[in-house]
Amino acid sequence: MGIRDEIISNARYWSDPGTYKPSGGDFSWICQMASCNQQPSQADLDYTAKSMPSGNLRIGGESKSWCGIFAVAVWAWSGMGVKWTLNWSASAGNVLMGSGVTWTKVWGNKGVRPGDIASIAAKQHHFIVTDVNAHAVNSVDGNQAGNTIIEYTNWKHSIASIVAYYTPNLD
């Protein structure tokens, strides 16, 4: 199995059987796997599970979107050299290099492939691409309705909506 296939398999693991609601322990694992520069406390995890049913993850007492943290965790679990920082900057973004298979950030949408992390402008949302056609992509997305992970097989994200993507340096 190639790394792109492993990324897709690992992403689908989290969305099985199509939608999955992570527990506090799952959020802890996701943040650890993504090598977040700040980890949620037990109080943050408890608060997330009980008081943030509609979305976001509490880290350091603050509400954080976790779609990108989830995508980076899936990549790291698959052997990619990647980590997530909560210290976003316009020049560097949130996705940083780590130990493992290297990757490249590509601005635009030309050439997006299954296994890539794509980003759309709407809410700066990140997701794992699982399939691509001429007009749209299928994906596994974290931080969805009800604080869930969902596999979308209905071509939810148009190619035109993708503003950037991260791709493994494999070929």
Q: What is the pLDDT along the chain (171 residues), one digit of tens a residue?
A: 799 999 999 999 999 988 999 999 999 999 999 999 999 999 999 988 887 767 789 999 998 999 999 999 999 999 999 999 887 765 667 888 888 899 999 999 999 999 999 999 877 899 999 999 999 999 999 999 889 999 999 999 999 999 999 999 986
Q: Which residues contact 23 (CB under 8 A, 6 or more apart)?
A: 49
Q: What is the distance between the alpha carbons of residues 124 and 22, in angstroms, rounded to a whole number?
A: 21
Q: Which residues contact 20 (CB under 8 A, 6 or more apart)?
A: 14, 148, 149, 150
pLDDT score at 171: 62
Q: What is the distance between the alpha carbons of residues 127 and 11, in angstroms, rounded to a whole number?
A: 10
> 15 — phi, psi (to 5°)?
-100, 0
Q: Contact, 164 vs 39, CB < 8 A?
A: no
pLDDT score at 3: 95
Neighbours of 89 (CB within 10 A): 8
Which of these, 107, 16, 119, 131, lies nearest to 68 by C-alpha position? 119
Kindly state the tokens that stand for 35: 């090598």
pLDDT score at 39: 95
